[in-house]
Amino acid sequence: MTRPIPSANTGSHDQPISAALAAFMGTSWAPTPLPEEARVPGHRVMPARRARLSAAFPGERLIVPAGQLKVRTNDVDYRFRPHSAFAWLTGLTGEEQVGNVLVLEPDGGQGHEPVLYLRPRAPRDGVSDEFYRDRRYGEFWAGRRPDLGEAAQLTGLRTEHSDALEKVLSLRRGAQRVLGGVDPVVDDLVDGAGDGVADAELAAVLGELRLIKDAWEIEQLQLAVDSTTLAFEDVVRALPAALRHRRGERWLEGVFNLRARAEGNGIGYESIVASGAHAGVLHWIRNNGALDPSQLLLLDAGVETDTLYTADITRTLPLSGTFSPVQRQVYELVLAAQQAGIAALRPGARYRDFHEAAMVVLAEGLADWGVLRIPAEEALRPGSGLYRRYTLCSSGHMLGLDMHDCAKARAGTYLDGVLEVGQVLTVEPGLYLQRDDLTLPMELRGIGVRIEDDLVITEDGARLMSSALPRTVAGIEEWMGTLLG
């Protein structure tokens, strides 16, 4: 299914390979085995995860792909990240997982046997030239991959060559479901044999199974948060240089990304580095603006660990190191909203409660300022919502392998569900006061403030995982002053 065609996988600018060189390349290579104790991180928790998925679909074949490479430009691909469901079930998170597929085969009873189909490391015996000629998969070009035995050792799974997958999937022995839209090769193999409703249910269940994090996952998320804390400190230290650069936002983006790549896999999502009025653009990732010391900087960024768990934190900082009176006014209202949201977090509370608590505070504050021309109570009614002109997005989301984690989970278990111990989520209210909004007094226009923290639901409430980063006006000013010397 995935065997490379050398003539199609070498670049137009590659030099031809002579018969003598091909023969020479197939000889005299020392073995480079993996350490005997090598296992994927978190391997002890993976069987229980697969068992939970198996119990949800007895007697059905389940197909979960890692995904395929996507072309960025000509013969250069985007950096590969396996699909989160595949990583959650296998522990395999590396760029070498391109094209790999996990299949849970019914075992004849109520369970499944997990089988990992993968593209193994190419041999160096002179029969194949993939290892030095194939630009996408060759070891000399893309790095080492495990062979079938090594992959079995790493994961504890039965492994098969990916070339066998086409034949296996053609043999229908009953119902099957595929995580669609991840791997077009797999989608083509099951085209006409899949069931869209059944496949959507598989995606939903995979999201729902990930809603509650186990202890190992919470450790990984705390590691992501701690690395993100270091990256925020790096950004503050870099402010003097960034203020001098014509693209100061992009300078700070690079500083954050440096720490993310040094500490983990990279960034968990494209960083939002929004100064001044750019903070009113909710997903500002152009990051091409200059910095003005009289303005605020909204930094929304997270480090992703090597195990692919990501933090998601936002701080709004005065570029001068000190909030102006009007900046303080806006900031403290958002902080009060966030504190109200955090106070609403506890097991058994409705998921929507924390957002609604934060919105009450913002609406009342906007009414007190005279920005809202109607009472807060009226603006908060479902038929109104006029306060949302200034705070358009929701106040948080689940967090884990994805920044917006478990997004395929059904509303009854997520948005309309209740909070449970072990869930990790963000609380992130904000005010986005557009620079061209004629309903605002001039001094408020162009100010955007968001405060976002990561929390885990505990038996008696919630633990603030990102507590190392200050949130109060005084705390931020002192922290920035210390870092800037």
| pLDDT at residue 109, as a whole number | 84
Strands 296-301 and 272-275: antiparallel
**Residue finishing a domain among 165, 192, 209:** 209
Q: What is the mean pLDDT of residues 63-88?
A: 96
Same domain, 183 and 249: no
* For range 139-162, the mean pLDDT: 97
Under the banding of pLDDT at 50, 70 and 90, the label for residue 10 is low
Which residue, 173, 420, 210, 411, is CA-closest to 309?
Answer: 210
274/170 same-domain check? no
- Quick one: average pLDDT of 50-71? 97
Judged by DSSP in three states, 76 sits in strand
- Binned at pLDDT 50, 70 and 90, residue 5 comes out as very low
Asked if 64 and 187 count as a contact pair (C-beta separation under 8 A), the reply is: no
The answer on 236 and 194 residing in a single domain is no
- In the chain, the percentage of residues whose pLDDT exceeds 90 is 92
Q: What is the DSSP letter of 281?
A: S
Same domain for 280 and 186 = no
231 and 100 together in one domain: no
Render pLDDT for 35-48 as a digit per residue (tens, 0 to 9): 988 999 999 999 99
Helix (H/G/I), strand (E/B), else coil: 219: helix
CB 65 within 8 A of CB 90: no
**Domain shared by 273 and 177, yes or no:** no
Report the pLDDT averaged over residues 445-450. 98
Q: What is the pLDDT of residues 209-267, one digit of tens each?
A: 999 999 999 999 999 999 999 999 999 999 999 999 999 999 999 999 999 999 999 99
Q: Are residues 281 and 351 in the same domain?
A: yes
Give the three-state DSSP class for 452: strand
- Please tell me whether residues 83 and 106 are part of one structural domain: yes
Instruction: Assess whether pLDDT exceeds 50 at residue 294.
Output: yes
Q: What is the pLDDT of residue 192?
A: 59
Instruction: Answer with the one of 178, 209, 240 that is the final residue of a domain.
Output: 209
For residue 203, count other CB atoms closer than 10 A to its CB: 20
Q: CA–CA separation, 460 vs 465, rounded Å?
A: 15
Residues 281 and 402 in one domain: yes
- Written as one letter, the residue type at 327 is Q
Q: ∠ CA(81), CA(410), CA(106), 5° rounding?
A: 70
According to the model, what pLDDT value does residue 8 have? 42
Q: Note the pLDDT tens digit of each residue in 93-116.
A: 999 999 999 999 999 888 999 999
Assess whether 380 and 440 both reside in one domain: yes
Question: What digits encode the pLDDT tens for the residues 162-203?
Answer: 999 999 998 877 899 999 999 999 999 987 555 788 899 999
Q: Do 101 and 65 meet the contact criterion of CB atoms below 8 Å apart?
A: yes
Residue at a domain's end among 209, 231, 251: 209
The pLDDT of 415-434, averaged and rounded, is: 98
Q: Among the listed ranges 14-18, 245-249, 267-271, 466-470, which one has the minimum average pLDDT value?
A: 14-18
Q: What is the CATH number of the domain that holds 440?
A: 3.90.230.10
Residue 1 has pLDDT above 90, yes or no: no
**Count: domains in the chain:** 2
Decide if 1 is inside a domain.
no
Tell me, what's the pLDDT at 7?
Answer: 41
Q: How high is the mean pLDDT of the chain? A: 95
pLDDT in tens, 372-400: 999 999 999 999 999 999 999 999 999 99
Whether residue 372 sits in one domain with residue 458: yes
The residue range of the domain holding 197 is 6-209
Q: Which helix (H) or strand (E) holds 25?
A: helix 19-25
